[in-house]
Chain A
């Protein structure tokens, strides 16, 4: 078994997270938030705050030396609100002081005069013609739109015996990484700045910080500290916080520490996009799907962030792993005055898969078909062409394989017969099982350029220094990279010294998102090792076949052969035609299936999840135990999405800012779990490996909705499916039948 190389410092308390950095002469800064989600700022009076003992400075939009607006895709995000606030998490000022207490005390004394503006809290309202514009420079509130046109849906509906329409909705979800945002910035003597902090993608932080400070990129050094969870959530917000910290340290010439409280973190940071999905599908009597029309509207909140990518992925995957010969899909992300939304584990797929997999079961029910048989009839097959016109012939199309593996292991057939289907047992309780399956594009696809670099340096004492451009996002990336490197070089993993990403050392390798870390990082490492081996080979030949790694290294050293290599990897080509949504969206795909067994207490509507199983084709599991850990963690997070978690906005203001009201799944609720690893090695992956982190988080919502249907006979079309909702539905049904 391969152990995590970073576990030891984490169990001894030695690992350094952002909050653990203490420097001499350091000051603390806290954010002052918008007084209203959409308002005109008339004045900011800091006189009373400035005289609080210990206050060093108060910083607002007018203190930004570089660009005030930032963003990865569209630069519409104000790092300090200027003139107007657009959501309740907008930061109007940062207050820096000798102590945290002084900074907070001063914050309470800043007086902001403002005038509320008409605000938009629903994407539907925001899309209406004539709605007030959230970003005046834009034509309307539509942040982005992706169409797909494939075949002729009217013709498909004509061929169908049944046409069914349904709507599904999902909620705002908080990443709930256990470590809130934090960083420490230091102004260096040469005018450059160094920021250490917990970010998923140091290169975004570097770009944002350079843009805001006006410094050239090579004067901004970002060093990643141990990251206390990310799940897609530690990109934009933390990068903006780094930029603010840099501005303050450059002005004050003192080290600046910003550590968010949980409430500050939940208030400012982006969430998972809520989706409103409308489906219309046609199917023949014998269970063949003919046409699909999909309309997806997502709430982007106040800023664009990664919305285009988060909307594009579910557009590409809107059919699920099923062949529809005719498809028309339109997806939109829309600006509102809610908290902005962005990347979160899955990138739009937990939402769309909840809808797709609920809908498939509903379609099966409409034509009295078995949900599994119905799926099998329509599954993607080897060599099939999807609704984006991509032919699936370069990888193993394993959807049937993962579903079969999962169901067999779960005793599906036997358990499915036992479902209550709306008839409670003697105690008034219900029993049900449900499943969901998916296909998923690996890495960024057409979202971005797919590049990664790795540096290997072998020191004269035969230690191997490894640095990879993708960052540890807690998924065990370092361990996987170190293992690939060790095995390829033929040395023990203990020899590898892993260097955390330093933006001034390794080339920008695009974000560690989209579950791409293993694939792109692994390939870059393999390329670097190949170069090193080429340098070593002639020397090894000279000094004899039985010489050890150490001998060869020292021989190279004495011959002045430098064992140093920059490995790179560039993703295979992808394509996309924007107006028709046709193209080879991703260069390869993974397949997964999750199954759940649950009980519902009739009286209270409480759900007890009894068992969850995940079967995932990840190409190859480089570290099977860590892979299983990802599957368990992903399923539990998916369970929270399906049953519990929801950020509640009231007039744009978040009502549940901490864990007392935002409830995530606890150890007492976790059911028995099983993980099945399916391996169909992919030609593009290192040792055949593909991806895992996100596929495991995109299925449980749909599986739970389906299980609740086979238990209670009621179809729930909105997440989270809370006990109150279930109780109300059941008592309504009782009163109708009485």
Chain B
């Protein structure tokens, strides 16, 4: 199967019942994407698939199509929006232990791609599927709001 991962064309060969998360982490060694629950509840494994934030622990390789585009935290730097989000997370102090961070960044990326100026409540809803135990979310929401300016 041919996938476009972080802007690069890659041919992957693996069992179809492998989780996308494991394909990324184990086969491609893109270990920035994290596993927090394995059942679609925490968002630590969020990646952007064809423009949508998805939980990669719930997606099997067999559900992907040839030519699908996947963006992970490792690819953010290369996109102007991604870079901006990374910078504002650092600036706003939105990173503590960092385990939720890659997923949060990807959720923020998908949100801002679709909606350039989300309201505070839209940001809060946009990352409601991403759990964070450290920050209380406030600085994460502020970081995303900084990107709308």
Contacts and interface: CB of A to CB of B under 8 A. Distances in A.
A156 interface: no
B133 A637 contact: yes
B52 interface: no
Contacts of A625: 93
B140 interface: yes
Given A8-B90, A229-B134, A667 B127 contact: yes
Nearest to A661: B41
Contacts of B98: 6-7, 9-11, 15, 226, 228, 474
B49 interface: no
Contacts of A635: 136
A632 B99 contact: no
Nearest to A636: B136
A376 to B, nearest CB: 29
Interface string B25-41: 11001111111111101
B14 interface: no
Q: Which of A178, A231, A261, A659 has the most CB of B within 10 A?
A: A178
A419 interface: no
B42 A659 contact: yes
Contact of A12 (B74, B129, B134, B135): B74
A180 B133 CA distance: 12
B99 A667 contact: no
Interface string B109-148: 0000000000000011101111111111111110000000
B33 A178 contact: no
Contact of B132 (A22, A175, A178): A178
B123 to A, nearest CB: 8
Contact of B32 (A6, A12, A628, A633): A12
Contact of A474 (B91, B97, B137): B97
Contact of B96 (A8, A15, A475, A666): A475
A660 B43 CA distance: 12
B72 interface: yes
B68 interface: no
A562 interface: no
A416 to B, nearest CB: 25
Interface of A is mostly: loop
A538 to B, nearest CB: 41
A668 interface: yes
Contacts of A474: 96-98, 134
B40 to A, nearest CB: 8
A17 B135 contact: no
B44 A178 contact: yes
B5 interface: no
Q: Which of B26, B31, B77 has the most CB of A within 10 A?
A: B31
A659 B37 contact: yes
A68 B97 CA distance: 33
B130 to A, nearest CB: 7
A592 interface: no
Contacts of B139: 629, 632
A40 interface: no
Contact of B33 (A13, A179, A261, A667): A13
Interface string B72-84: 1110110000000
A11 B108 CA distance: 12
Contact of A633 (B33, B42, B134): B134
A625 B36 CA distance: 27
Contacts of A637: 133, 136
B97 A178 contact: yes
Given A13-B32, A229-B99, A262-B37, A667 B74 contact: no
Interface string A232-269: 00000000000000000000000000000110000000
A25 to B, nearest CB: 15
A664 interface: yes
Q: Which of A474, A628, A629 has the most CB of B within 10 A?
A: A629
A177 interface: yes
A666 B135 CA distance: 11
Q: Which of B39, B72, B89, B125 has the most CB of A within 10 A?
A: B39
A13 B32 CA distance: 4
Nearest to B75: A13
A638 to B, nearest CB: 10
Contacts of A22: 26, 29, 31
Interface in A656-675: 658-660, 664, 666-668, 670, 673
A257 B7 CA distance: 31
Interface in B30-65: 30-39, 41-42, 44
Interface residues of A, number: 53
A20 interface: yes
Given A227-B97, A476-B96, A667-B141, A179 B34 contact: yes
A673 B140 CA distance: 13
A179 B132 CA distance: 11
Contacts of B33: 13
Contacts of A175: 133
Given A178-B42, A262-B38, A629-B96, A670 B137 contact: yes
Interface string B8-26: 0000000000000000011
B89 A228 contact: no
Contacts of A231: 133
B20 to A, nearest CB: 16
A3 interface: yes
Contacts of A679: none
B46 to A, nearest CB: 12
B36 A629 contact: no
Contacts of A4: 90, 93, 95
A13 B133 contact: no
Nearest to A11: B86
Nearest to A625: B93
B108 to A, nearest CB: 11
Given A667-B130, A670-B136, A178 B99 contact: yes
Nearest to A672: B138
Contacts of B95: 4, 7, 10-11
A176 B137 contact: no
B39 A660 contact: yes
A13 B30 contact: yes
A315 B130 CA distance: 38
Interface in B92-109: 93, 95-102, 105
A670 B134 contact: no
A670 B101 contact: no
Given A179-B97, A179-B99, A180-B36, A13 B136 contact: no
B131 A668 contact: no
A229 B89 contact: no
A19 interface: yes
Contacts of A660: 39, 41
B101 A10 contact: yes
Nearest to B31: A20
Contacts of B128: 666-668
Given A12-B77, A179-B34, A261-B38, A659 B133 contact: no
Contacts of A668: 124-125, 128
Q: Which of B32, B73, B100, B102 has the most CB of A within 10 A?
A: B32
Contacts of B74: 12-13
A692 interface: no
Nearest to A4: B95
Given A660-B39, A667-B124, A673 B136 contact: yes
A702 B146 CA distance: 34
| Pairs of residues from A and B, 3 with the lowest C-beta to C-beta distance, nearest first | A13-B32, A10-B98, A228-B99
Given A12-B74, A474-B96, A633-B96, 4 more contacts: A4-B93, A229-B134, A632-B137, A666-B128
16 contacts: A4-B95, A11-B95, A12-B74, A13-B74, A14-B32, A19-B34, A178-B44, A178-B99, A180-B36, A228-B99, A262-B42, A633-B96, A658-B39, A659-B37, A659-B41, A659-B42
Interface of A: 3-4, 6-17, 19-20, 22, 175-180, 226-231, 261-262, 474-476, 625-626, 628-629, 632-637, 658-660, 664, 666-668, 670, 673
